[in-house]
């Protein structure tokens, strides 16, 4: 259980380049907020963390996304400060295609992507050796990404959004007052890789365990990587 409250980033916070949906007051948000205060894993000594509340992303508006990153792995601001949403596809492509060069990028993503790759080399976010590109070792700072969907009733309804969250998160959970009584529904959660947690248990003690995914899952993981860098920069200034 946590002993300190996590940093929450939400609607009205202009410290990061993200849009957020305004939370809807009510029992679901109260359940989620209380859970975030005590049940999330505490970051390791070498880590920091932040929780984004209802960020607007391609897959919808996940209720909460907790991101953890290594303090020592934050690159110089000049290397990442110019990154934007248009770079997410490029970074994911280079990450999953070791040994890619600018000609391959141009064939797959277009001429502008190849030009941008050269710019990111000049900025220091990409490295280049014998023409082959790679994301710098400390470019992906995230160590863990937890997505949580809260639902007071209708445990079957929340599964769809929670399953979409596996596109970017290392673990996706549905938070509900009590676990489903139907074994078949629990099996559906397991087959989708989504965990089930209740308000009285820490996320390390789920009713149904979430599948653990690697990083980065997709271009959306790089979006949260950028947001983590922005939060880390603000914490360093503070």
DSSP letter for 72, please: G
User: Rounded distance, CA 221 to CA 167, Å?
Assistant: 8
State residue 93's pLDDT score: 94
Measure the CA–CA gap between 103 and 108, rounded to whole angstroms. Answer: 9
Contacts of 66 (CB under 8 A, 6+ apart): 6, 36, 40, 49, 50, 51, 52, 144, 145, 146, 147, 148
Ordered mean pLDDT values, 10 residues apiece, the chain (238 residues): 76 88 95 95 92 94 96 76 88 90 95 95 90 90 96 90 95 95 94 96 94 92 92 68
Question: In sequence order, which ranges of the chain are alpha helices (DSSP H)?
Answer: 27-38, 77-80, 88-96, 102-109, 111-123, 155-164, 183-192, 219-237
Cα 224 from Cα 57, distance rounded (Å): 10
Query: pTM above 0.75?
Result: yes
């Amino acid at each position: 259980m946590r002993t300190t409250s996590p940093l929450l980033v939400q609607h009205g916070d202009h410290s990061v380049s993200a849009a957020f949906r305004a939370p809807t007051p009510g029992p679901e948000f109260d359940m989620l907020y209380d859970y975030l205060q005590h049940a999330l894993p505490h970051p390791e000594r070498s880590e920091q963390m932040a929780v984004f509340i209802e960020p607007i992303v391609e897959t919808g508006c996940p209720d909460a996304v907790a991101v953890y990153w290594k303090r020592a792995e934050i690159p110089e601001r000049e290397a990442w400060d110019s990154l934007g949403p248009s770079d997410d596809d490029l970074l994911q492509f280079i990450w999953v295609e070791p040994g890619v060069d600018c000609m391959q990028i141009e064939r797959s993503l277009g001429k502008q992507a190849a030009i941008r790759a050269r710019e990111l080399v000049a900025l220091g976010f990409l490295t280049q050796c014998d023409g082959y590109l790679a994301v710098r070792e400390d470019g992906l700072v995230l160590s863990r990404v937890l997505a949580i969907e809260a639902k007071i009733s209708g445990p079957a309804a929340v599964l769809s959004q929670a399953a979409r969250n596996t596109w970017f998160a290392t673990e996706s959970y549905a938070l509900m007052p009590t676990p489903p009584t139907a074994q078949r529904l629990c099996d559906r959660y397991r087959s989708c890789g989504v965990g089930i947690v209740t308000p009285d248990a820490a996320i390390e003690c789920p009713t149904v365990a979430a599948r653990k995914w690697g990083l980065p899952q997709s271009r959306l993981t790089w979006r949260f990587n950028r947001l983590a860098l922005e939060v880390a920069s603000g914490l360093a200034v503070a």
